[in-house]
Amino acid sequence: MQKNKGGPGGSRAAKPKRRGRAFLCGLLVIALLALGGYHLFSNELEVTFYHLYSPKIAGGENIRVAVLSDLHNREFGPGNGELVERIRALKPDLIAIAGDMVNADDGNLDVILTLCSKLTEIAPVYYSPGNHESNLMYEKGSPLESMLLEQGVRVLVNRAEEVTIHRTPLLIGGLTTSTEGYEEYGAVFFDEYEKSAAFKLLIAHYPSLYYEYLADGHVDLGICGHYHGGQFRLPVVGGVYHGDTGFFPKYSGGMYQLSNSTIFVSRGMGGHNGLPRINNRPELAIIDINGRQDTNFS
């Protein structure tokens, strides 16, 4: 009885109504899927802001660090013009490059050299090579390091440079070695580096160094890359996978507080393995270091 509630005329009229509703629902679902897909697979450059409190910052001025990593020869606009303009607008005091800006297998250096020539006009550029640069420089004999030095880039290969920004002395170091070669190539440098009383900014491509060797080290700000944000990012959980660590890398992207250090792991800006970045937009990170304290109020 209930099915024939509208009578024969009523059921006939209800059919197109139901179809209309189904069509509207379908459209809504398609729109939501398109929106979600656009958001999840977006490859648009994202500027992320981080704040770091340090009692070592003199006076009231902010020190702004722009972090670039894992570009893998990708271009944002012709000659990376879009990227450069974004950085210029943000007026960083220094630019830290955490390696893997090139691809070891194609040997093309034009992208990074063009980019660095423009970046050096904005702020001093400190470049610590990653595994792709190391492969090019030490295995394929690429003159990348000397070419970068010609552009005015400070290439830091297991060494550090002192610089004073807004009256605050900084010791910017570059630790190029991976965990396997740390004891042989990096330990001596780091032991000496750690003793400095200046603000220590250490650019090391591999976050895995902080799993063990540098876990208790005294670094005011460690900057890393390499994990590409874990390729796919889940809300709350973070990065899902990287070849070196397997599933759910410990430090996949963002700021992490260790026992004596704070590290920032960049999600990077490109990729090399051909896998899409899901919910993981290319990141240009801006870290503001100042004397403004953050506390935990309820």
Partner 1 sequence: MVLVCAIVPALMLCLAILYIMLLRRFFLVKAKLPVLGVRGVLGRTEGKRRKIAAWAALFLVVCLTAQLAASAWAPGMLMVFSYEEATRGQNPNVTRFNESNILSDDILEQVIQRGGLGISVEQLSKCLSISTSLDAEKLDVTQESDMKISTEYRVYCSGRAALYGTEPKTVLNLLADVYWEKFVLNYAENDSILDLSFEKLEGMEYLDAKDYLEMQANKLRNYLPGYSSESSSFRAADSEETFSSLSQKISNFIEIELERYEAFVLEKGLADNRTTYQSRMQYVNHQLDVSRRKEMASHDVRIEAINMYNAYMTRFVLIPTYDTDKEFYMSKTKVGVDYFADEAKEHLESATELVEKIEHNTYASQQVGGSHASSSAYDQADQRIEALKAELINLAAQSRELCSTYVREKRDGYIQVSFAAPAVLDSALKALLLTALFAAALGGNAVLDPFYREYQKGRPAGRRGSRVVKKQEESAS
Binding residues vs partner 1 (CB under 8 A): 5, 9, 35, 47-49, 51, 53, 55, 58-62, 86, 89-91, 288, 290-298
Query: By the 8 A CB rule, do 179 and 213 touch?
Result: yes
Cα–Cα nearest to 69, from 96, 40, 49, 37: 96
In angstroms, give the least distance from the CB of 129 to partner 1. 28
Q: Based on CB atoms, which residue is closest to partner 1, 140 or 292?
A: 292
Q: Based on CB atoms, which residue is closest to partner 1, 56 or 159?
A: 56
Q: Based on CB atoms, which residue is closest to partner 1, 58 or 147?
A: 58
In angstroms, give the least distance from the CB of 89 to partner 1. 4
Cα–Cα nearest to 54, from 43, 45, 63: 63
Sign of CA dihedral 155, 272, 230, 181: negative
Q: Based on CB atoms, which residue is closest to partner 1, 50 or 185?
A: 50
In angstroms, give the least distance from the CB of 7 to partner 1. 10
Cα–Cα nearest to 292, from 59, 4, 122: 59
In angstroms, give the least distance from the CB of 289 to partner 1. 10
In angstroms, give the least distance from the CB of 53 to partner 1. 8
DSSP code for 248: S
Q: Based on CB atoms, which residue is closest to partner 1, 79 or 169?
A: 169
Cα–Cα nearest to 83, from 225, 265, 254, 270: 270
> 137: helix, coil or strand?
helix
Q: Based on CB atoms, which residue is closest to partner 1, 63 or 223?
A: 63
In angstroms, give the least distance from the CB of 5 to partner 1. 7
Query: How far, in Å, CA of 138 to CA of 29, rounded?
Result: 53
What DSSP line would sit under 5-22, residue for residue? TTHHHHHHHHHHHHHHHH
What DSSP line would sit under 158-227, residue for residue? SEEEEEEETTEEEEEEEE---TTTIIIIIHHHHHHHTT--SEEEEEES-GGGGTTTTTT---SEEEE-SS
Residue identified by tokens 């691809």 is: 103
Query: How far, in Å, CA of 296 to CA of 79, rounded?
Result: 43
Residue identified by tokens 């012709």 is: 78
In angstroms, give the least distance from the CB of 227 to partner 1. 23
Query: How far, in Å, CA of 133 to CA of 176, rounded?
Result: 10
In angstroms, give the least distance from the CB of 235 to partner 1. 8
